[in-house]
A and B are shown apart, each in its own frame.
Chain A
Amino acid sequence: MKIVYPIILAAVTRKKEEEVEFSGDVEALINFLCEKYKGLKKVLYNKEGFNKFINIYVNNEDIRNLNGFETEVKANDTVKFIPAIAGG
């Protein structure tokens, strides 16, 4: 599975994209990545929960239009973390 990070997250992961072996839902994927990269959880979560200024896309579809954090991800999927504040 391909994971794509924006520049700000790449400062934590030290890479803009990577291939990972994973299957499960988006929430489990995030937990997996937070364990892999120290400091990632601090950016992705705040006291209200998952940071509302980060959108997650699975195969270019916003997970809010799928099953949210329960959206299943598979081997050939691409998961992108994209900042929410743009456009207009």
Chain B
Amino acid sequence: MLRCMICKKEIEDLPSYICPRCFGPLEVVYDWEQIKERVSREKIERGVESMWRYKDFLPVNREPVDLGAGFTRFIHAKNLGEILGLKNLYLLDDSTNPTYSFKDRVVSVAVTKALEFKMRALGCASTGNLAGSLAAHAAKVKLPTYIFVPAGIEKTKIVQAAVHGANIIEVEGSYDDANRIAMEMAENNPDWGFVNINLRPYYVEGSKTLAYEAVERLDWRSPDQVILPMASGALLTSVYKGFQDFIKVGLTDTIPIFNGAQPEGFPIVRAVREKAEIKPLKESQTIVHSLAIGNPANGFTAKDIIEETRGYAEDPSDREVVDSVLLLAKTEGIFTELAGGTVIAALKRLVEAGRIDRSEVIVAYLTGNGLKTADVFLNEFSVRKVSKYEEVIAW
């Protein structure tokens, strides 16, 4: 069952993403009494070591398409914490997912639903990470895939999708232009599963597992604060829902303070800071392509959650992002992609502004692998060339 988040109209389980009455976003409805009877800490702890240990909380009715996403590294970042002045900083690192980003969580759910709905092709609009993930999952289930990406995307991300056999369409313009064309494709091909369009209500549910994992890894308690990257705002919204789910069934009892991170000048941060409506951004220059969504579909929900939980949002500059990737790499041995650098840079700002207490338990979400955006760092180091042993010694 799906329900409109705005007018609450309920509709049957279908590949659909907007309310037929008011155009509002649809969300999955669960029977919480039934789930509460089925789940327990012990049952979850005995489950598979992937996101599917939380299958009771996900909207699927068949064996999942599981490449092994989720239950990734959860690290007490003592070295980075010492530098930032935080005693209890934890990192949930999704760079070790099958295609090296958190997108494997959402795609795993969406592709499972596509099989339930007997769809004959898959598609998406992507800033890169989703492209690689969808292409890999599509290869596994032997469905053709059509991926719309903005011009100027990192070639390493297109390569990842291409090697899995996806059809890649590069759209002149921004991500929002690619998204618009993908939406028109979805409108005209209802038996194609566009994971972040007509399968979106199911797709976003996969990110809830990022909340479940944080609670489980913290010995079944919620952190005091979380910080997440924001592109469309869907990730932050879903992680919030994840904490709510665990409260509903008694697996935790508090919602953390939610903080968001975007590249400099992007709309959700601006709206939080100015306490204003979200105004789309037409053009941007940021190097953080994976977060460069100028017209964020879930911006309004992300903003509401940040305000409701008394969190904040920060938009560090590209330089701060690069420096933060390097800081993380040199203190914790984690090479995160630029979205992760945005999170660490924003965290640094929040600490400096006194918005985070030194002893609070913080979870920072790192959503992708640094090798995907390695090009940015090619000018950040030099390599010494030698031809003889003596030259090394002299150095």
Contact = CB atoms under 8 A, between A and B. Distances in A.
B295 interface: yes
Interface string B183-215: 110110010000011001000100000000000
B196 A84 contact: no
B304 to A, nearest CB: 13
17 contacts: A6-B187, A8-B18, A11-B20, A43-B22, A53-B23, A60-B177, A62-B282, A62-B295, A85-B25, A86-B182, A86-B196, A86-B200, A87-B179, A87-B182, A87-B232, A88-B196, A88-B204
Contact of A43 (B23, B183, B231): B23
Nearest to B298: A88
B235 interface: yes
Nearest to B177: A60
Contacts of A52: 300
B235 A83 contact: no
B25 A53 contact: yes
A8 to B, nearest CB: 5
B20 A88 contact: no
B70 interface: no
B23 A62 contact: no
A65 B22 contact: no
B125 interface: yes
Contacts of B296: 88
A42 to B, nearest CB: 9
Given A83-B17, A88-B200, 7 more contacts: A16-B187, A60-B177, A65-B280, A80-B184, A87-B197, A87-B232, A88-B204
Nearest to A81: B23
Contacts of A82: 180, 183-184
Contact of A85 (B280, B293, B297): B297
A64 B20 contact: no
B98 interface: no
B235 A85 contact: no
Contact of A88 (B180, B232, B300): B232
B16 to A, nearest CB: 9
Given A53-B25, A60-B180, A64-B280, A85 B18 contact: yes
Interface in B284-318: 293, 295-298, 300
What class of interface size applies to chain A in its complex with B? 20 to 34
B175 interface: yes
Contacts of B231: 88
A49 B97 CA distance: 44
Given A8-B20, A43-B23, A57-B180, A86 B297 contact: yes
A76 interface: no
Interface of A: 6-8, 11, 16, 43, 46, 51-55, 57, 60, 62, 64-65, 80, 82-88
Contact of A46 (B22, B190, B295): B22
Given A88-B233, A88-B296, A53 B200 contact: no
B183 A83 contact: yes
A88 B177 contact: no
Given A43-B22, A54-B23, A62-B295, A87 B196 contact: yes
A86 B175 CA distance: 12
Contacts of B234: 88
A51 B23 contact: yes
B24 interface: yes
A86 B280 contact: no
Contacts of B280: 62, 64-65
Interface string B1-39: 000001000000000011011111100000000000000
A12 B297 CA distance: 24
Given A84-B23, A87-B197, A7 B293 contact: no
Contacts of B20: 8, 11
B101 to A, nearest CB: 13
Contacts of B182: 86-87
Contacts of B177: 60
Contact of B197 (A51, A53, A57, A86): A86
Contacts of A11: 20
A83 B232 CA distance: 15
A88 B114 CA distance: 18
A85 B17 contact: yes
A62 to B, nearest CB: 7
B179 A7 contact: no
Contact of B297 (A16, A57, A60, A84): A84
Contact of B179 (A51, A53, A86): A86
